[in-house]
Amino acid sequence: MLNASTSFHPAAFLLVGILGLEATQFWITFPFCIMYVIAMVGNVIVSFIIKTEPSLHEPMYLFLAMLAITDLVLTTSTVPKMLGVFWLDSREIGFHACLA
């Protein structure tokens, strides 16, 4: 007899990418890679400058640093998996990663 409170969820999902455009997926995701690198470098520079410059330790600049760090976390949690799906055929994503 199964407990009513238990729920079934799959171990992983398969991501398929853009159907019909498999041959051009490299060129579709190349701009995303460039934007990811620019976003990472820019946000790290902003965070580093705000951290090292004492005159920028005011609430407005601290808020800017929090936004930069949030942008780093959000882009790092989504873009590498997308690039892995398109470039490396890493099509499997775990249930908890997909849920997050």
User: Of 4, 99, 92, 82, which Cα lies nearest the Cα of 36?
Assistant: 82
Residue 39 confidence (pLDDT): 93
What is the value of pTM for the model shown? Answer: 0.72
23 and 100 Cβ atoms separated by less than 8 Å: no
Residue 19 confidence (pLDDT): 74
Torsions phi, psi for 94 (to 5 deg): -70, 160
Strands (E), 2-100: 12-14, 92-94
Residue ranges, the chain, pLDDT below 70: 1-7, 17
The amino acid occupying position 26 is: F
13 and 95 Cβ atoms separated by less than 8 Å: yes
Residue 99 confidence (pLDDT): 73
Query: Where exactly are the structural domains of the chain?
Result: 26-99
User: Of 12, 21, 29, which Cα lies nearest the Cα of 86?
Assistant: 29
